Amino acid sequence: MSDSPPSEPDMTSQQLTYAFAPLHKRAFGMAIGLAAGLLVCGATLVYLYRGPELGPGLALLRHYFAGYTVSWAGAFVGLLWGFVAGFVAGWFFAFCRNLAMGILIFFIRVRSELAQTRDFLDHI
C-alpha cells in the first residue's frame, strides 16, 4: 500500500458523499432535545438564583409547557418539556433536510442522464 495522498477526484467524491449524507433523524432529535431541555432548565435555575430582576419573560413558558412554573420543580418539568419540544423540532428538521436532499439528488441525476442521452437519436 502506498503512502501517496488520494487523488483529486477521490477526495471530491468523498467530500460530496459527506456533504449529501442524510442526517440521522433520531440522533439529531436527541441532540437538539437535550440542548433545548438543558437550556430551559438552566434558564430557570439562573432566574431562581439571580432573582426576579431578569424580567417576567420566563413565566410565559407555563402557557406552552403544562406543569411548568418558575420554581425548582418547574426547572425539571422545563427540562422534560424542552427535551420533548427540541426532539420533535430536531427530528422534523432532519426529516425535511433529508427529503430536500433526496429530491435535489434525484433531479441532478435525472438532468445528468438526460444530458448524456440527448444526442442518442442523432446517431441513428
Angle of helix 25-50 versus helix 72-116 axis, rounded to 10:
150
Residue of 26 and 121 predicted with greater confidence: 26
Matching residue, cell 431578569: 54
pTM: 0.79
Residue 14 lies in a domain: no
Residue 12 lies in a domain: no
Q: Which tens digits make up the pLDDT trace of 19-57? A: 778 999 999 999 999 999 999 999 999 988 887 665 678
Residue 13 lies in a domain: no
Query: Domains in the chain: how many in total?
Result: 1
Residue 98 lies in a domain: yes
Residue 31 lies in a domain: yes
Q: How much is the pLDDT for 58?
A: 85
Full domain range(s) for residue 84:
24-115
Residue 69 lies in a domain: yes
Residue 15 lies in a domain: no
Question: In Å, what is the CA distance from 88 to each residue of 1, 35, 38, 67, 118?
Answer: 47, 13, 15, 19, 45
Residue 87 and residue 33 in contact, taking contact as beta carbons nearer than 8 Å: yes
Q: How much is the pLDDT for 6?
A: 64
Residue 19 lies in a domain: no
